[in-house]
Structure 1
Amino acid sequence: MDVVLGWAAPESAAHYDPASLRPEDSARIDQPRGARAERDWRASRALLASLPRGSRVASLSHSQGHALCVALAPDGPQLRLGVDLERIRPRDVAALGRWVCNAGEQQALAALSAEPARQLDYFYMLWTLKEAFVKAAGLDFPMDMQRVGLDGGPQGALILRPPMGAWGALLLRLEPDWMAALVWEGAAAPRLSWHAGPAAVVPPCRSLGQWQGEAPAGARKIVE
């Protein structure tokens, strides 16, 4: 399976063209938005318009003027995919963890309380993964976020806890302060390529882990 990850920056918003919107977005063009939401809208829609002709956009996420999407070729398989992008910034990890994490994940976060930077990174790993699954599997936000995530602690092997069925997941750390998650339905890992939107440059990134799992039977980590 070949998929494209598309990246947009705030500068991409200057290339927004309402005439190039997809039909489903044209129906939303007149919705009221604040200044930040309008910037995100313009940057993300400029990205979508720049994708290769016929690309099927499976999922889209934006955060603070940047955007990330995952797209399939026109003749690609009909699979469920999800992405989420978040800018890493200080949060009340304990409070948010009680809202969206199960008991094991909350314990793992608490074990990192003496290392705030690592704790924040781990929280965003969990958050983006959960959000990507919510989008891909049509789960309810926020009620179903505790159902999916990572089992195990930050010092030990991590095990994917996916929705029903077979799923894979990839977590990426993008410089300087971004966390991204990609999830896909099925056992085969996708072949990834990057696409930079107008006026955007794909930042340096590294994989934090790739997993394959199946619910309810369990899951196993396949890449460290």
Structure 2
Amino acid sequence: MMNIDCVILLASADVCGLYSNQKLDNTDRKRLHQHPELEQRTDWQSSRFLKQQLADPYSIYSLTHKKGHAGLIATSTTQDAIGIDIEYAQKRNFLELAQLFCTENEQAWLVQQADLSTAFYQLWTLKEAFIKVSRGQLADMHRWCLVPQGYNAIHIPAHNPPVKAYSCVIDKNWHISVIYPSSFYISPQCCTSAFGHWQYCQFNWHQWPINPDV
């Protein structure tokens, strides 16, 4: 793999058969020894398959997985945190769930959206990725407002160091967001690789504006 600032690797669940427990790093080997049942989970197999595709320089990474599908973002040039999240769209009471993790302004914005499902998962995945970048916890979701007062659209809060944020939809139902330092010169369109069924999908990344006032 060519050494570039950042790589984004995505895998559909059908890569599970390509996973090898002989290629686990020391951390995963110890974890598997403590919890051998993990090896039967497709989430474990697909996410560790992605880790096994990384070249040596990519020591900083963030993982996400859902229903056997997985995503990974990794960097070789910084110690700054990076974040990725993946969610599968399904019918839910979005407005009720939004009360658990959205600010009042975000909830008011969601009510106005024609495509409530897409808006909800955009907020959710961006907030999860932002929590990873800020090294926070799920309980911090209310802390980050992505629809600031006076705005009627998603704006990513300013961060130190400055970040870029992108989202895309895969296979109609899979929502993925990534956040990484603005110093990275490369765009997601140029550093995304996919495995399994997803290698045949298009990845149309959307970049979100940054709100310097937040």
Considering the TM-score relative to the shorter chain, is it more than 0.5?
Answer: yes
Q: Is the 8 A contact 2:82 2:179 kept in 1?
A: yes
Alignment of 1:40-51 (within 5 A): 40-51=43-54
Closer/same/farther in 2, CA of residues 149 and 63 from structure 1, 3 Å limit: farther
- Post-superposition CA distance 1:26-60 (Å, at most 9, x none): 1211426579x711101111121122343224101
Measure, in 2, the Cα distance between the counterparts of 1:197 and 1:123.
27
SS at match of 2:9: strand
Q: Is the 8 A contact 1:58 1:72 kept in 2?
A: yes
Q: 1:201 aligns with which of 199, 202, 214?
A: 199
SS at match of 2:92: coil
- Post-superposition CA distance 1:44-84 (Å, at most 9, x none): 111211223432241010111111100123xx122211000
Q: 2:41 aligns with which of 38, 41, 52?
A: 38
Q: Is the 8 A contact 1:12 1:46 kept in 2?
A: yes
Question: Which structure has the highest helix share of the two?
Answer: 2
Q: 1:160 aligns with which of 156, 162, 169?
A: 156
Measure, in 1, the Cα distance between the counterparts of 2:180 and 2:53.
23
Q: Is the 8 A contact 2:87 2:174 kept in 1?
A: yes
Closer/same/farther in 2, CA of residues 189 and 123 from structure 1, 3 Å limit: farther
Detail structure 1 runs of 4+ shifted over 6 Å in the superposition: none
Match in the other structure for 1:127: 124
SS at match of 2:162: strand
Do structure 1's residue 93 and structure 2's residue 94 form an aligned pair?
Answer: yes
Do structure 1's residue 2 and structure 2's residue 43 form an aligned pair?
Answer: no
Q: 2:55 aligns with which of 42, 52, 66?
A: 52
Closer/same/farther in 2, CA of residues 137 and 64 from structure 1, 3 Å limit: same
Q: Which AA in structure 2 matches 1:103?
A: E
Ranges in structure 1 where 5+ consecutive residues have no aligned partner: 219-224
Closer/same/farther in 2, CA of residues 213 and 14 from structure 1, 3 Å limit: same
Q: Percent identity?
A: 24
Provide the aligned C-alpha RMSD in A: 2.6
* TM-score, structure 1 as length reference: 0.81
Q: Is the 8 A contact 1:8 1:47 kept in 2?
A: yes
Question: Which structure has the highest strand share of the two?
Answer: 1
Measure, in 2, the Cα distance between the counterparts of 1:55 and 1:187.
16
Measure, in 2, the Cα distance between the counterparts of 1:94 and 1:128.
16
Measure, in 2, the Cα distance between the counterparts of 1:206 and 1:198.
18
Closer/same/farther in 2, CA of residues 179 and 185 from structure 1, 3 Å limit: same
Q: Which AA in structure 1 matches 2:167?
A: L
Match in the other structure for 1:222: none
Do structure 1's residue 80 and structure 2's residue 81 form an aligned pair?
Answer: yes
SS at match of 1:158: coil
